Amino acid sequence: MKRKFDKYWGECNLMISIATILDPMNNMKLIDFSFRVIYSEEETPRQIYIMRDRLCELYKEYVDEYAATNVDTSTEND
């Protein structure tokens, strides 16, 4: 049953986790608590690492996009 759950909700679970962190009413403590309930003691740190890594990748993409947009805007103003 766990395999079937992971097949359909594995990546979605990651997206829901990132959305939860970005929600101002929640924070990383909720994710830590939830992952401890969902995953085993050995699996929890790995899943948290994966989620944080993807969140950092998302942030880096945002920074790169914002920097590119900001450069284009300042070039147009000159």
pLDDT digit string (tens) for 23-32?
A: 888 888 898 9
How many folded domains does the chain comprise?
Answer: 1
Q: 39 vs 6, 14, 43, 59, 78, CA distance in Å?
A: 11, 13, 6, 26, 54
pLDDT tens by residue, 31-53: 899 899 988 899 999 999 999 99
The predicted model scores a pTM of 0.68
Question: What is the domain range of residue 18?
Answer: 2-77
Q: Which residues contact 38 (CB under 8 A, 6 or more apart)?
A: 13, 47
